[in-house]
Amino acid sequence: MFDFLQGFSYGLFLSCLPWFLIGMLEPRLAVPTEPPRRWQAVVRYWFGVPFMAFVLWLTSLWGGFSPSLAGWVAGLGALAVEIPVERWWRHRSRRRRERRQQAVETAAARQRQAEAERARREAGVAELDPSAPPADADEVVQALCRAKQSLLDAGRADLAEQVDRLYTRYARVLDVLEAKFDRRELTYDRSRAIVVQVGLNAADNLKAMGALAAGVVGIDPAYVRRRLAAKDRRAVADERDALQRRLDLIEDTERRLRELSARNETAMTTLDHAVVVMSRVETHRPQADVAADQALDDLKRFMDKAERYGHKA
């Protein structure tokens, strides 16, 4: 046993030089890691494997000094067998990690989707399909469909959800108007015109959000941050300045998107307020003229708020 081990250590030590030269010429043939590097060949065949051979040689000295030929041959061919085996093992381990990571990401995505669907059901949000608008879609709904499609094309599904929430509130206001007032009443026409104006303003904001998101769709912020965080001395100052300007552009775009999104939240609050106000209106009284006057008085506050929002937006 010791004679085989001693011969193996000699053969392993002598095989380091040719594998080192191969690693300097073509690292892919001598280094099983991905991606292969020449410095890895230096560390592996100039320090790592020789040290292992030296330890084996010290261990074999207990059996005296009698290296065997079989040990020599096994040591000379050990690296030729070890490199493809290690490469296969590393590839299999990497694939296993990728599958595990993909499974985790898939499970997380399904969980987020389930939570979003549950929240949408609890909130009563109706999903608007840009490719198939409702048959009775008016100008506001059509504008919302175009805005949602632009956001989806820009890869901002998170912002596109705001379109569904706005569409749900807009449809709810119209339903309340239909239930509370007659189409021939002046109150109905004035209230619906204000609601339409609020919806169009919000649709304009969403359209602007889609244009902003499309402007930076080709910029990868994760890559920019990695390059800026990397301690690479070879990176010239001009490159870092360009990356920093690119990151500033992304951050400025996100800030403007948040501002427009906040305006849309204000519009949705206005529509919610309109639903509450109109739900309190009593229009089914015996005196029709009194009911109309009462409805007009109740809606004055809503119309004033909506008009102020329309001027601000």
Q: Compute the CA torsion angle 260, 266, 269, 270 (nearest 10 deg).
A: -120
**Tokens 């011969």 appear where?**
7
- pTM equals 0.50
pLDDT tens digit sequence for 38-64: 888 888 888 888 888 888 777 777 666
Nearest Cα to 172, choosing from 273, 91, 100? 273
Taking the mean position of all CA atoms in its chain, how far away is CA 100? 19
Structure tokens at 115: 């939570």
What Rg, from alpha-carbon coordinates, does the chain have?
36
Q: Report the alpha-carbon distance of residue 298 to residue 176 in Å, rounded.
A: 14
pLDDT at 294: 54
Backbone angles phi, psi at 163, to 5 degrees: -60, -45
Cα-Cα-Cα-Cα dihedral sign, residues 178, 180, 182, 185: negative
pLDDT string in tens for the chain (313-residue length): 777 777 788 788 788 888 888 888 888 888 888 888 888 888 888 888 888 888 877 777 766 667 777 777 887 788 888 888 888 888 888 889 889 988 888 888 888 876 765 565 445 566 777 887 777 778 888 888 888 888 888 888 888 888 888 888 888 888 888 887 777 777 778 888 888 888 888 888 888 888 888 877 767 666 767 766 665 545 566 666 777 777 778 788 888 888 888 888 888 888 888 888 777 765 554 444 445 455 555 556 666 655 565 555 4
Sequence ranges of the domains in the chain: 2-108, 124-312
Structure tokens at 310: 């329309």
